[in-house]
Structure 1
Amino acid sequence: MGNPPYDPYGQHQPGYGQQPPANPYGGPQTPPPQPPAYQATPPPAYPAQPAFPAAAQPQYGVPQQQPYGYAGGAYGAYAGWGARFAATLVDGIIAAIPAGLLYVIAIALFASDAPEVSYDPATGSYSSSGGGSGAGGMLVMLLGYAVSFAIQLYFIYQEGTTGQTPGKKLTNIRLISEQTGQPVGFGMAFVRKLAHFLDSIACYVGWLWPLFDAKKQTFADKVMNTVVVRSV
């Protein structure tokens, strides 16, 4: 083997993988330096991603943002004139059936109580005999009015507390307050029924006003701040 390179200090530094020189003092040999152990660098920790928020659920009575072109208010699409007319027609028929039967009975009683009229050709005069006072027919007719009023009063109660009469349930519409979106209550519903006088006084134009109004309101609806919306 060749001679080691010249060392001006008289020492030869061992490299990696070479045996160190013997200790002149008889001590243990110094181990050669070892290369640093390889350490894997951990990947950078990314911040935790926030969970996606849950979709907001619509709440009854709270205005919701509606898509562009939505033909209605914050609490639903406005009910058209056709649906409102159909609901009124159904309610009227339901109220008229029992009352109409009582009216027919009253007319029959009036006819049976009518006096018999006879003509005397000799004298050329008419005479009547028999007949009652018609009290039975009058009582039955008054009962028919009472039954009709009671049915209409019950419909007003249903409309005020639930927003729907039988006719409105059939046509899937309901009456609510424009401010709260809730049923208006029996008292306000009764006053609204009286306010329909305004719809009739101007040649019944108020009943047709939902055909032209943006909120499909009658005059009574505008006075009472109510709207009729679709329930589905």
Structure 2
Amino acid sequence: MGNPYDPYGQQQPGYGQQPGYGQQPGYGQQPPAQPGYGQPPAQPGYGQPSAQPGYGQQPPQQPGYGQPPAQPGYGQPPAQPGYGQDVHHHYYGGGQMHLAEWGTRVGAFLIDALIYAIPVILFVILGTAIASAGDSAAVGSLFSLLGYVVGFGVILWQKYVEGTTGQTIGKRVVGIRLIREDTGQLTGFGLAFGRYLCHFLDGLACYIGYLWPLWDQKKQTFADKIVRTLVVRV
């Protein structure tokens, strides 16, 4: 027998009951929209935040305003200048040393040359004066030879001081120092004197070796390259 409250004769589900299998929603109701084939899922609307990292996850940290960029890790070498750029410094154990300019090196050389030349010139003048006076030409020649011996002694003393302290008198005056290229340490007497002998090659071909530091990246003469030394500012 039909329900008297159902004018169409259809039975409605009781309170708490759901429509049976295959039943559709009532009139005027729309089924939930499903994404079509090949369509991406719905994105959050404008102004809605994107998904945050899960519990325990840290977001990537951004450098704060005014903070410097990250530095290279321990043991990593600093960035080297590109091809064709001048090198005005050298690194040893994290320290930075500036290479000496060509004009400064010339100033130190002239001071050292003057220190060498003074005793030589004095003894040669004295020997020439003795020989000219007619007292003894042999004595005059001996004084002249003694002047060169004294001058060579001055050179040996300069190289000893340069090897043990890094500075001759001239280098001390202008504020530069001679060091090893590979370690940054002092050269010692033997290497300093060997470098002095190698300067003979710098004097060949119109003294081109002495001018080489003007365009060389490490500001080295031929002698510096042979014995692997640098001249740096103090």
Task: Report what 2:112 is aligned to.
Answer: 91
* TM-aligned CA deviation for residue 65 of structure 1: 5.7
Q: Deviations over 1:177-223 (max 9, x none)?
A: 01110111111111111111111122210000011111110011011
Task: Report what 2:30 is aligned to.
Answer: none
Q: Deviations over 1:101-134 (max 9, x none)?
A: 1111111111112xxxxxxxxxxxxxxxxxx550
* TM-aligned CA deviation for residue 148 of structure 1: 0.4
Write the distance in 1 (CA, Å) between the matches of 2:162 and 2:98: 18
> Which ranges of structure 2 fall in alignment gaps of 5 or more residues?
1-76
> Which amino acid in structure 1 is aligned with residue 129 of structure 2?
A
Task: Report what 2:230 is aligned to.
Answer: 227
* TM-aligned CA deviation for residue 71 of structure 1: 2.1
> Which amino acid in structure 2 is aligned with residue 71 of structure 1?
H
CA RMSD in angstroms comes to 2.2
Task: Report what 1:71 is aligned to.
Answer: 88
Q: Deviations over 1:64-98 (max 9, x none)?
A: 96999972111511001101000000001111112
- SS of corresponding position for 2:206: coil
Task: Report what 2:209 is aligned to.
Answer: 206
Spell out the pairing of 1:1-232 with structure 2 (5 A cutoff).
71-74=88-91, 75-113=96-134, 133-231=136-234
Write the distance in 1 (CA, Å) between the matches of 2:159 and 2:90: 24
Give the count of matched residue pairs. 151
* CA spacing shift, 1:217–1:99, aligned 2, 3 Å: same
Write the distance in 2 (CA, Å) between the matches of 1:190 and 1:71: 26
Write the distance in 1 (CA, Å) between the matches of 2:104 and 2:88: 15
Write the distance in 1 (CA, Å) between the matches of 2:231 and 2:212: 13
Contact kept? 2:126, 2:143, Cα under 8 Å:
yes
The TM-score, its normalising length taken from structure 1, stands at 0.61
* TM-aligned CA deviation for residue 144 of structure 1: 0.4
- Over 4 Å off, 4+ runs: 64-70
> Which amino acid in structure 2 is aligned with residue 83 of structure 1?
T
Write the distance in 2 (CA, Å) between the matches of 1:134 and 1:70: 56
Task: Report what 2:4 is aligned to.
Answer: none
Write the distance in 2 (CA, Å) between the matches of 1:141 and 1:211: 37
Write the distance in 1 (CA, Å) between the matches of 2:203 and 2:105: 16
Q: Deviations over 1:23-50 (max 9, x none)?
A: xxxxxxxxxxxxxxxxxxxxxxxxxxxx
- SS of corresponding position for 1:213: coil
Q: Whose RCO is larger (CA < 8 A, sep 6+)? A: 1
Write the distance in 1 (CA, Å) between the matches of 2:142 and 2:150: 12
Say which one has the larger Rg.
Answer: 1
The TM-score, its normalising length taken from structure 2, stands at 0.60
% identical aligned pairs: 49
